[in-house]
Amino acid sequence: MKKIFTSLAVSLLAVTFAAAQEKVVTTTQAYGKIDKADLSMKVCDFEKDANAMVLFDKGDVYYDNDFNIILERHKRVKILTESGKKEADVRIEYYGGNKFEYLTGLQGEIFNLNNDNVEITKLDKKQIFTEVVDKSRLALVFTFPNVKAGSVIEYKYKQTINSLSAIPDWFFQEDIPVRHSELVTTIPDYFYFRTQQRNSRPFTKYATSVDSRSITGGSGNTPLLLNENKTRYVMSNVASMVKEPYMTSEVDNLQCIYFQLSNFNPPAGFSQSYSNSWAKVGGILADDEDFGLQLRKKLTGEETIIAKAKSFKTDEQKIAYVFNEVKNNMKWNSVDRWYTNDGTPKAWEKKTGNSAEVNLILYRLLKQSGVKAYPMVVSTREHGKVNPAYSFLYQFNRAVVYIPIDSTRRYILDATSKYNSYLETPANLLNSYGLFIDKENKRYDIVFLQREAPVRHVVMINADILPDGKMSGLAQISNFCYDRYASIENYKTNGEKKYIDYLRDNDNNLSITALKMDNIEADSLPLTQQIKFNLNLTSSDKDYIIFNPNLFTSMKTNPFLSENRFSDIDFGHTNNYNLTGIYKIPAGYKSDALPKSISIVMPDQSIICRRMVIEQDGSIMVRYTINYNKVIYGKENYPDLQVFYKKMHELLNEQVVLKKS
C-alpha cells in the first residue's frame, strides 16, 4: 500500500461553482486573535440564511529539509444559529495507518462574546480522539464543547506527508459559505507540478514569486541552496454547495485545486518523469499486497463452489451461480475501498468485508471456475467521476469484476448489494471509468461504463369513472432494469404496507386495496405489479368530474423549478416512459374538455414527449410516451431543459373534464 501512496499523485476532483456576490477580501488572522465584529455578527452578508460560515481557511504547503510535504492549516468557523452547532464536530481523516501521513500540533479554541468581553476556551486535548478507519486510514475526531449561536471556533494543525508528490487537494468551497479561503504553496524548482482547477470565475487573488533558502542534510553536508516557487491562491465569498436534482457527487462540483507531479529535476542527476500512465497504475495494482496478491489466496471450502460451477455447461450459468453464491453469502460492511482491509481469506471466513474483499472473492471463484474475468477498480457516483486524463489511483474507491462477453457486451459484477444483477452494470457506477487488470497479458486499460439501451417504464391503467366522483380500477406497472431492482429492494426492505404508501406517493385520496408482485426472483424478466385502486376525484362537483390521467408514474413533479443551475445534469441512463390509460365514462356524462394530442421536442431533439387522447366507445384513452436520447446535460444547457420540463409537466398534468349530460 505504502508504495502506491508514495508513487501516485493526489486524486482528481472536478470543480464547479455556485457564484456569490463580490466582497472585499477578508484576510486571515493570527491564532488566538479575533475581531469583535466577527463575534457580534448575526448573519452571513452574502448568504443570509446560512447556519454557519467559514471565516477563513488558510493552508501553507511546503517541503521540509527531508523533502516531506508539509501542510500547515488554520481554520476558523462562525456559528450563526442553533442548527449551525454541528460544525463544532470536526473529523480529519488521513493516511496514518502506514505512517504515510501524520498530524501534529493540533490546537483548538472557542471564542464567545460576554458583556462585550471576549472569552476564550481552549479545546481540552483529552477530548481529541484518534479513530482507526481501516489499516491505512486514521481520523482525528473532536467536538468543541459549549458552543452556541454566536460562537467562533478555530483550530490548527500540521500534516506531514512522506511523499514528494502527494500535495493535498484544497477545497475553496464547502456546504457552508466561505468568506475567505487561501492556499499558499512553496515548491522547490526541482519539482514541476501540473495544477488543475475548474472554477467558474477567476481567483480573487493569484500571485507568484520566487524565494530562496538553504538546507543542510542530516549528515552535515554542504548547505544546498533551494530556489522555490511560491504561489498564492485566494477565493472570497464562496457560496455554499447547492445540492441539485440529478447532480453527481458533491466532490465533482466543489471549487478546488489539485496537483500532479510531472517531473523531478534534481540539481545533480537525471530528470525523472512522474507522469503516471494507466498501464503503470494497473501494474502497481497487480502486484499490490492488498489487491493483486489477494487474488492468489485460497478460500476455505472454495472447492465445493468451484466444482458445482464447473458442472454447468455455459459461462452464463457459471456466472449466475457464482454471483448469487457470493451475493447471498457475503455481507458488505458498507465500506468502499479499492484495497482489502482484513484480506479475502479472513473476510470469507467472517462472511463480511469491504467492497474490495467481497468482489475480489467473487473474482477468484469465477476465475477458478473457468470464467474469463478480470478485477476492476471503479468509482461510485457518490465518490466522484474518474477523469481519464489523470492517472490517479485515488480516483477509485471500489473493486468489481469485469467480464467481456463479446465485442458489444460486457458484464460489470458487484456483489455488495443483494439486489444487484450480474446482467446490468450497477447504476451508481455509470458514466465514469473503470480500470481492469489483466496481469497475465500485462493489459491495464480503462473502460467507460454506460448503459446504451434506454430503461423502460411501462404503466397500464384500466379504470371506471363513477358518477359519485370516484375512480376505481386496475393498474399494471412493469419495472425494468434499475427500476426493477430498486422496487424489489424497497418492497423487501420496508414491507408491503410501507411499499403501498410509497406507491400512493402521499396522496390521501388514493387507496390501494390489493397488490400482487410477479417475477421477483426472475432476474431476466420485468417486475410486474398488479394494483387494485380507488381514487377520490376531489376537484369534481355535482355537474363535472375532473381527473388527471397521469397516475402511478414518477413524472408528476417537475425537478427543474429553480431559475439557476450550478452543476451538470446526469440522468444516469436514457429512459423510455410509456403510460396508457383507458377510462370508462359513466352513464349520464360526456366529455367536456379533453387534452389535445400533441408532441413537444427539446431544441436538440434529445427528449421527445407525446400525448395522444382518443374518445371511443364510451371510454377515453390517454397515452403518454417520453423518450430520452441523452444522458448528460451541461449546466449551460439548463435554460432549454427547464423550459422544456415546464411545458412537459403542464402537458402531463392537464386534466380531463366530464360534464353531466
Q: What is the largest CA-CA distance in the chain?
A: 105
With a cut of 70, say whether residue 14 has pLDDT above it.
no
Whole-number pLDDT of residue 20 = 39
CB 65 within 8 A of CB 215: yes
Confidence grade of residue 232 (pLDDT, cut at 50, 70, 90): very high
* Mean pLDDT of the 112-135 span: 94
Joined grid coordinates for residue 442: 500485462
What are the tens digits of pLDDT across the range 423-466? 999 999 999 999 999 999 999 999 999 999 999 999 999 999 99
Handedness of CA 279, 281, 284, 289 (dihedral sign): negative
Say if CB 96 and CB 134 are below 8 A apart: no
Is the CB of residue 265 less than 8 Å from the CB of residue 15? no
CA 157/CA 282 separation, integer angstroms: 35
Q: Which pLDDT score is estimated for 11?
A: 35
Rounded distance between C-alpha atoms, residue 58 and residue 82, angstroms: 26
User: Scanning the structure block, which residue is given the C-alpha cell 466577527?
Assistant: 38
CA-to-CA dists, residue 586 to 189, 475, 583, 595, angstroms: 84, 19, 9, 19
Nearest to 399 by CA among 346, 438, 444, 354: 354
Gap between the Cα atoms of 630 and 609, Å rounded: 14
pLDDT confidence of 219, banded at 50, 70, 90?
low
Q: How confident is the model at residue 225 (pLDDT cuts 50, 70, 90)?
A: confident
Q: Would you state the pLDDT for residue 463?
A: 98
Considering only CA atoms, which of 151, 174, 149, 169 is closest in space to residue 237?
Answer: 174
Q: For residues 69-75, give the mean pLDDT.
A: 98
**Structural domains of the chain in order of their starting residue, each with its CATH number:** 2-273 (2.60.40.3140), 278-449 (3.10.620.30), 455-660 (2.60.120.1130)
The whole-chain average pLDDT of the chain stands at 92
Give the span between the Cα atoms of 188 and 207, in whole angstroms: 17
Q: How far apart are CA 121 and CA 146, in angstroms?
A: 9
Residue 110 has pLDDT above 80, yes or no: yes
528-546 mean pLDDT? 95
96-135 exposure pattern, b = at least 16 Cβ within 10 A, e = fewer: bbbebbebeebebbbbbbeeeeeeebebeeeebeeeebeb
DSSP string, 9-61: -PPP-----------PPPPP--TT---HHHHH--SBTTBTT-SEEEEEEEEEE
Residue 193: its pLDDT value, please?
Answer: 92
Residue 18 has pLDDT above 60, yes or no: no
Asked if 424 and 414 count as a contact pair (C-beta separation under 8 A), the reply is no
Residue type, 526: P
* Four-point Cα dihedral 13, 162, 164, 198, nearest 10: 10
The DSSP symbol for 508 reads T
Angle at CA of residue 551, ends 548 and 555, nearest 5°: 100
pLDDT, position 199: 66
Contacts of 418 (CB under 8 A, 6+ apart): 327, 328, 489
**Position 221 confidence tier, pLDDT thresholds 50, 70, 90:** low
Residue range 155-208, pLDDT digits in tens: 999 999 999 999 999 999 999 999 999 999 999 999 999 888 876 778 999 999
Q: What is the mean pLDDT of residues 552-575?
A: 95
Question: Is 208 within 8 Å of 229 (Cβ atoms)?
Answer: yes
Cβ-in-10-Å burial (0-12, 13-18, 19+) of 272 comes to: exposed
* Selection from 26-30, 248-252, 276-280, 372-376 with the highest mean pLDDT: 372-376
DSSP 355-387: HHHHHHHHHHHHHHTT---EEEEE--TTT----
For the chain, percent of residues with pLDDT exceeding 90: 84
Do residues 87 and 78 make contact, with C-beta atoms less than 8 angstroms apart? Answer: no
pLDDT at 461 (0 to 100): 98
Residue ranges in 287-408 assigned as alpha helix (H): 302-310, 315-329, 344-350, 355-368
Cβ(395)–Cβ(384) below 8 Å: yes
DSSP letter, residue 83? G
Query: Strands (DSSP E) along 127-279, which ranges?
Result: 129-132, 138-143, 152-161, 170-171, 178-188, 191-196, 205-215, 224-238, 256-264, 272-273
**Quick check: 8 pLDDT over 70?**
no
User: 275-311, pLDDT tens digit by residue?
Assistant: 678 999 999 999 999 999 999 999 999 999 999 999 9
Type and span of the H or E element at 623: strand 619-628
| Confidence band of 5 (pLDDT split at 50, 70, 90) | very low
Q: What confidence tier does 12 reach under pLDDT thresholds 50, 70, 90?
A: very low
C-alpha cell at 276: 503516471
Q: Which of 22-31, 307-316, 411-420 has the lowest mean pLDDT?
A: 22-31
C-alpha–C-alpha distance, residues 615 and 287, integer Å: 69
For the segment 601-622, the average pLDDT, to the nearest whole number, is 97
Q: Are strands 455-466 and 575-584 parallel, antiparallel or unpaired?
A: parallel
Residue 613: pLDDT above 80?
A: yes
Name the grid cell of 515: 397488490
